[in-house]
Amino acid sequence: MIRVADAIAALRARLAAASTSAHLDAELLVAQVLGTGRASLAADPDRAIAPEELLALESLVRRRLAGEPIAYLTGRREFWSLELEVTPDVLVPRPETELLVERALELIAGLQNPAVLDLGTGSGAIAIAIAAGRPDAAVTASDVSATALALAKRNAAGLGLLNLNFREGTWYAPLADLRFDVIVSNPPYVAAGDPALEALMHEPRLALVAGSGGLEALAAVAAGASAHLAPGGWLLVEHGAKQGEAVRGLLQSAGFARISTRLDLAGLPRVTEGELSR
Ligand SMILES: C[S@@+](CC[C@H](N)C(=O)[O-])C[C@H]1O[C@@H](n2cnc3c(N)ncnc32)[C@H](O)[C@@H]1O
């Protein structure tokens, strides 16, 4: 018989080769196959793991050792303290993206019933966090991927949020002549030949790669923004740590003022913003 505590200890050692969070991963995978939460594991460390549960656990461990993100194995990821469903159809939401949410909420703090657009919503993480933080806001979430959009809709419905609407299509194409107070986007920004893609091979290429230089999507988002912003509206985009200068240039060419780049928690340039001149 294998006890929960023994299984976690053994998995922790095996997963250390593939993960910097081996103990957490081990707990999440054991909790997943037992259909319980991590807190219950600590409360019952002597619980026996049944043979069929061990088989399921082994399959998950092998996938994790092959580099699959833990969020795809558990089907869940927390973002902005909200529990989201995540599948391989969408990028796993990253903690650094919370900077976009934080800044968007600051920019709409003084507005009543603000209109916000999240371009390339994926799991819906950014749009949902803003909609949850500002129930009076009208948040539009768009994506070119129908499967991503279906998941974003499920996530919004699961959290009981009613102030979101969804549009399918490329960047601004499905938005007709709608205008917003704030446009946020975490578009794909990795260059096609970037060796970093190797470690990201389980996530959708559509969510990661933006042409040979990595700036194609950011350029499209910046170029189309002025036609969809209210006067004095703001555009906020996430980008790669080395793309700050190039993105500030894109916003300048697109007619933005008060352009600046903010650092993420790791101290890396991560979000660039600009205000549409009135
Ligand atoms: C980096 S992911 C961001 C997902 C989510 N917003 C997040 O921060 O976790 C980029 C998203 O842009 C979407 N996307 C890629 N090309 C697009 C396009 N041409 N028009 C609209 N969305 C696009 C992808 O499907 C993906 O969901």
CA 38 vs. chain centroid, Å, equals 23
At 46 the three-state DSSP class reads coil
Mutate to test the pocket of ligand 1, among 143, 221, 239, 270 (most ligand atoms within 8 A of CB): 143
Quote the CA–CA distance of 24 and 12 in Å, as a whole number.
8
Residues 131, 141: contact at Cβ < 8 Å?
Answer: no
Residues 118, 185: contact at Cβ < 8 Å?
Answer: yes
Find the 179 Cα to ligand 1 centroid distance in Å: 20
Find the 121 Cα to ligand 1 centroid distance in Å: 6
Furthest-apart CA pair in the chain: how many Å? Answer: 70
Which residue bears the tokens 């807190």?
Answer: 39
**Which sign does the torsion angle of CA 52, 53, 54, 59 carry?**
positive
For the segment 90-116, the average pLDDT, to the nearest whole number, is 97
Residue/partner pairs of 259-267 with CB below 8 Å, 24 or more apart: 262/99, 262/103, 264/96, 264/99, 265/95, 265/96, 265/99, 266/96
Burial degree of 38 (CB within 10 A; 0-12, 13-18, 19+): middle
Element (DSSP H or E) covering residue 213: none
- Residue 2 pairs with which residues in a beta bridge? 49
Question: Relative to the CA of 100, which ligand 1 atom is closest?
Answer: 8
Mutate to test the pocket of ligand 1, among 206, 221, 238, 264 (most ligand atoms within 8 A of CB): 206
| CA-closest candidate to residue 12, choices 35, 41, 40 | 41
Find the 93 Cα to ligand 1 centroid distance in Å: 11
Nearest protein Cα to ligand 1, atom 2: 207
**Calculated CA dihedral for residues 156, 161, 165, 168, nearest 10 degrees:** 0
* Number of CB atoms found within 10 A of residue 50's CB: 13
Query: Picking from 45-49, 131-135, 151-155, 234-238, which range would have the lowest pLDDT averaged per residue?
Result: 45-49
Q: Which residues line ligand 1 (CB under 6 A)?
A: 90-91, 93, 97, 120-123, 125-126, 143-145, 148, 170-171, 186-188, 206-207, 217
Q: Where are the alpha helices (H) located in 16-97, listed in sequence order?
A: 22-34, 38-43, 51-65, 70-74
Find the 186 Cα to ligand 1 centroid distance in Å: 7
For the segment 125-143, the average pLDDT, to the nearest whole number, is 98
- Residue 10 pairs with which residues in a beta bridge? none
Quote the CA–CA distance of 267 and 25 in Å, as a whole number.
26
Phi, psi angle pair for 18, to nearest 5°: -115, -10
Residue 236 tokens read as 């906020």
pLDDT tens by residue, 14-34? 999 888 999 999 999 999 999
Quote the CA–CA distance of 237 and 92 in Å, as a whole number.
17
Query: Picking from 19-23, 132-136, 178-182, which range would have the lowest pLDDT averaged per residue?
Result: 19-23
> What's the predicted TM-score (pTM) here?
0.96
For the segment 129-146, the average pLDDT, to the nearest whole number, is 98
pLDDT tens by residue, 204-238? 999 999 999 999 999 999 999 999 999 999 999 99
Q: Which amino acid is at 226?
A: S
Residues 161, 133: contact at Cβ < 8 Å?
Answer: no
